[in-house]
Amino acid sequence: MPSAMDSCMGGAEQMTCGVRDPHAYVTVEIGPTKRASTFITEHTAAPAWNEQFLILVADAVSEIGFSIKDETWIGAPVVAHMAIPVGRVVSGDVVEGWFDLKVFGPANRHGQAALKIRIQYEAVEADPNWNRGVAGCGPSGAVPGVYFPLRKGCRLTMYNDATMEEEHNTQMTLGDGLQWNPASCWDDLEAAIKQAKVMVYIVGWSVWDKLHLTRAPNCKMLENKGPSLGELLIQKAEEGVRVCMMVWDDKTSVHVGSTQAGGMMMTHDEETRQFFKGTKVHCKICKRNPDAHLSLRARIRTGNFYTHHQKSVILDVPGWQGGPEGDGGAQAGRKPKKPDFSKALKGGRFRETIGDYRRERKAAKQEASQPNGTTQSEGLKRRLIAFMGGIDLCDGRYDTPRHALFHTLNTVHAGDYHQACIAGAAENKGGPRQPWHDIHCRVEGPIAWDLYHNFMQRWRKQAGEHRRAQPLDMAKAKHNSRLYVPNNALGVASDDTGDPSTMEFNYYRNPGTWDIQLFRSIDSSSAHGLPSETDGAAKMGLTTEKFRTVDFSIQAAYVHAIRRARRFLYVENQYFLGSSHAWLEDQLTGDCIHTVPIELALKVAAKIRAKEPFACYILLPMYSEGAPETGAVQEVIAWQSRTIAMMYKLVADALRDVGAHDRVPTDYLLFFCLGNKEAEVPGEYKAPQSPPANSAFERCQKARRFQIYVHSKMLIADDEYIIIGSANINQRSMGGDRDTELAIGAYQPQQLAKGEKDGVQIPHSDIHAFRMSLWQEHTNQVGHLYQKPESLECAREMRRLAEQNWQDYVSEEVKDISSHLMNYPILVEPDGAVKALPGHEVFPDFPAAAKVLGSKIGSMPDRLTT
């Protein structure tokens, strides 16, 4: 197994041979797995590619291969191959020159062939960002070599769950003395849509027109006085706001005349299309169309397996006096603390300090007078903001940190009943509903224009007959008299080094300012204007693959954050499978080769070997959506089990190597899930029908328990850096050429930790407060140990609490559970072996086929479940 995470820079330049190959391209293989492909050259005996790739590697292999393939309409056979032993490159020296190819098939009759390449390997320890945190990476914490640059002077609001109840609105004091308060996502989103005057642009996997974003606590959803989302969007379009939306087209859904079928994924796409038909809302239902030049097999796979999974709402709101249109500024949700004026006087900074304080206090006072927490003025130019992350605008997503199972079925969840994990579940048969935990965010400043740029690229590629809607392009937006467009928002190739003195959108002096960067998984079949290699794709952080250009910067962002981390990593994700090349079995499954899981494991192992405190916490759903006894869900769980087993083997090997006999792998790498259990209360919803006898539905209902479905897509590193987006940790989301995805990476430059090793100061930033808020939601407490997640004491306390909750969850006694965090139900041996938990080989309340470790079914393509 590998012991370090590294990178390999190289490229295929030119090939000589004695025959014209009609459609030749080169693939780069690390061991048995393909990691890169060139574009396709046509009808030449001496094809030249001149492409370069940066390949992140974490592999135990003996050679690096280069294959010449001939693209045909049914596939791509290998016509020539060569390999370089890993021993030649591990020194870090450049390996360059012509290398003889072994030619196969009819091409072999035409004599010798050779390939010119250049390759160089860089060990991870040589990376200047390795183990440095964001603070140790110089003036910029940007992920290098990706499409979108880092944007400085931004603003970020993080949300856990769709809405926040008052009892969970816990205020926290940060390191700068300011206060942090959790915000409520859908309350903020509805308020922003109502304020829009110029545009509302929506991208979604699913959008439900009947959704009510805000709800009275004791009122049924459809009885709320306010408009539904669909009604609100039509209302804004009638007011002259440009409303454009792109929703994924589930091919299994049908609406022809009176014939309707909701489709396998129940996304409401056909309902949404019909609702907005004939209105001023431009609603485009978008298929995941493949590149027309791909082979027939690849086109079928892309068009039928993969989705448009991005989730964003981009819109304008009133200008505010803390932005470029006014002076001063205050971060939303923060209250200024009175500084130490005597200390400032001694330091010669009295005038500057009192001036800053007066401006912050004035802005905070104005801010408090606004219902949505911003200091706004209709006399100022309007600004662009965006909401993005993991929460779809559809049924089943409305939830609070309580994550009720039964108690809200006759109030806020009446008419919004969602239960996709129990066969035959329906509102008229009662609970439990499927609780929903998710992460979302709102971004402001130059970063919002990058999300706008993504929308425009997709619209121009996919809008089809709706192109006549003509959303504002960047040039028109710049000259729109109502919109403020910061200079550093224009163009993805800008060198945004962030000189604070020249920034128009300047929150820089405020301690709450953010640096934010946008990442994507997308290719040129879904986005207009991605450059080909000849137009500089490599220079813009893109790679080419046959006829298309691919952006997989989300995977690069995750790897970069993991490698930089010093103290701990905290991950929440709906899916967790990958690095199949390192699995202990089924290594070539579905080309599920993204390296995020093995990077996490190797990071933990490296810290163990360095004898430095470190912990990695990973929160997953108990099982992925769908009935857990069904084949598709079982196969996903099987791939997840192989991923976890690979990781624990690496961690156990590191513990053995350093002789840490008093430690176990779960002291450093911890997997959790969430569950809830509710005792009956007076006034609960009484269903008119009952579930079938002896069914999983009946057992869940009688036990009054169910998992809280974790749909988040988030990583926190050291309480300094956060990634929030739509991307799962699987190949579909990380590959760039499968599902389309969005994510942002963000940090606060004035809140970074300082020092090295034991001298590291723990950052008390908004990210720290957000993680503490999440852990309070999951554990129902704010323990002092949670301040230092890297400590052995914290890891063991989390594990102890989660084990107690698991025992309460599986107990036959029906009572409220004290908190939601539970150990994932597996047994990890000291040697890293992963087994089913004795007595709990099957998920509670489900039939014997619902195995905790999953099972392979082999009846569906691996690429569908990876």
How many whole angstroms separate alpha carbon 426 and alpha carbon 748? 45
Structural domain spans, the chain: 6-126, 573-726+763-865
Phi and psi, residue 119, nearest 5°: -145, 140
Percent of the chain with pLDDT over 70: 82
Give the other-Cβ count within 10 Å of 807's Cβ: 11
Query: How many distinct helices (H) and strands (E) make up the chain?
Result: 16, 38
Which distant-in-sequence residues (6+ apart) come within 8 Å of 99 by Cβ?
66, 82, 84, 114, 115, 116, 117
Q: Are 620 and 730 in contact (CB under 8 A)?
A: no
pLDDT recorded at residue 72: 81
Q: Which two tokens stand for residue 275?
A: 């609702």
Residue 369 has pLDDT above 80, yes or no: no
Stronger pLDDT, 264 or 83, i.e. the higher one: 83
Reported in sequence order, the residue ranges of 129-240 that DSSP labels E, i.e. its strands, are 151-160, 172-173, 179-180, 199-204
Residue-wise pLDDT for 578-616, tens only, equals 999 999 999 988 789 999 999 999 999 999 999 999 999
Total count of residues recorded for the chain:
866
How many whole angstroms separate alpha carbon 641 and alpha carbon 834? 8
How many whole angstroms separate alpha carbon 461 and alpha carbon 284? 12
Specify the 3-state DSSP secondary structure of 268: coil
Give the other-Cβ count within 10 Å of 225's Cβ: 7
- Pick from 374, 412, 376: which is nearest to 396 by CA? 412
How many whole angstroms separate alpha carbon 84 and alpha carbon 149? 35
pLDDT recorded at residue 770: 96
Interior angle at CA 42, CA 38 and CA 47, nearest 5: 65
In which band, very low, low, confident or very high, does the pLDDT at 373 lie, cut at 50, 70 and 90?
Answer: very low
316 is catalytic: yes
Mean pLDDT throughout 364-369?
45
Active-site option among 711, 768, 778, 820: 711
- Pick from 192, 162, 168: which is nearest to 182 by CA? 168
711 is catalytic: yes
Which distant-in-sequence residues (6+ apart) come within 8 Å of 144 by Cβ?
560
Q: Which two tokens stand for residue 78?
A: 């290998």
Stronger pLDDT, 338 or 145, i.e. the higher one: 145
Helix (H), strand (E) at residue 229? helix 229-238
Residue 507 has pLDDT above 70, yes or no: no
Active-site option among 282, 418, 560, 713: 713
Stronger pLDDT, 330 or 842, i.e. the higher one: 842
Torsion (CA) 403, 406, 412, 418 in degrees, nearest 10: 80
Residue 494 has pLDDT above 50, yes or no: no
Which distant-in-sequence residues (6+ apart) come within 8 Å of 639 by Cβ?
577, 580, 586, 589, 590, 592, 854, 865, 866
Amino acid at 863: R
- Pick from 9, 81, 85, 17: which is nearest to 47 by CA? 17
How many whole angstroms separate alpha carbon 375 and alpha carbon 21? 64
Span between the terminal Cα atoms of the chain, in Å: 22
Which distant-in-sequence residues (6+ apart) come within 8 Å of 509 by Cβ?
329, 356, 500
pLDDT recorded at residue 305: 92
Residue-wise pLDDT for 511-564, tens only, equals 679 999 999 999 999 999 998 776 678 878 898 888 889 999 999 999 999 999
Helix (H), strand (E) at residue 363? helix 350-368
718 is catalytic: yes
For residue 244, the 8-state DSSP code is E
In the 3-class helix/strand/coil scheme, how is 640-690 assigned residue by residue?
A: HHHHHHHHHHHHHHHHHHCCCCCCCHHHCEEEEEEEEECCCCCCCCCCCCC
Phi and psi, residue 53, nearest 5°: -135, 145
845 is catalytic: no
Active-site option among 209, 291, 316, 737: 316
Q: Which two tokens stand for residue 518?
A: 């946008």
Residue 446 has pLDDT above 60, yes or no: yes
311 is catalytic: yes
Percent of the chain with pLDDT over 90: 65
For domain 6-126, the CATH architecture is Sandwich (2.60)
Residue 174 has pLDDT above 80, yes or no: no
pLDDT recorded at residue 9: 61
CA 797 to the chain's CA centroid: 28
How many whole angstroms separate alpha carbon 305 and alpha carbon 777? 35
Interior angle at CA 601, CA 769 and CA 617, nearest 5: 30
Residue 303 has pLDDT above 90, yes or no: no
Give the other-Cβ count within 10 Å of 337's Cβ: 14
Active-site option among 197, 212, 284, 311: 311
Active-site option among 21, 176, 515, 718: 718
Reported in sequence order, the residue ranges of 58-125 that DSSP labels E, i.e. its strands, are 63-70, 78-85, 95-100, 102-103, 114-122
In which band, very low, low, confident or very high, does the pLDDT at 172 lie, cut at 50, 70 and 90?
Answer: confident
Active-site option among 69, 309, 418, 607: 309
pLDDT recorded at residue 443: 98
Q: Are 549 and 530 in contact (CB under 8 A)?
A: yes
Residue 317 has pLDDT above 70, yes or no: yes
Residue 324 has pLDDT above 60, yes or no: no
Please, what is the average pLDDT of the chain? 86
pLDDT recorded at residue 42: 78
Residue-wise pLDDT for 669-688, tens only, equals 999 999 999 999 999 999 99
476 is catalytic: no
Q: Which two tokens stand for residue 63?
A: 């050679």
Residue 171 has pLDDT above 90, yes or no: no
Whole-prediction pTM value? 0.90
Q: Are 134 and 141 in contact (CB under 8 A)?
A: yes
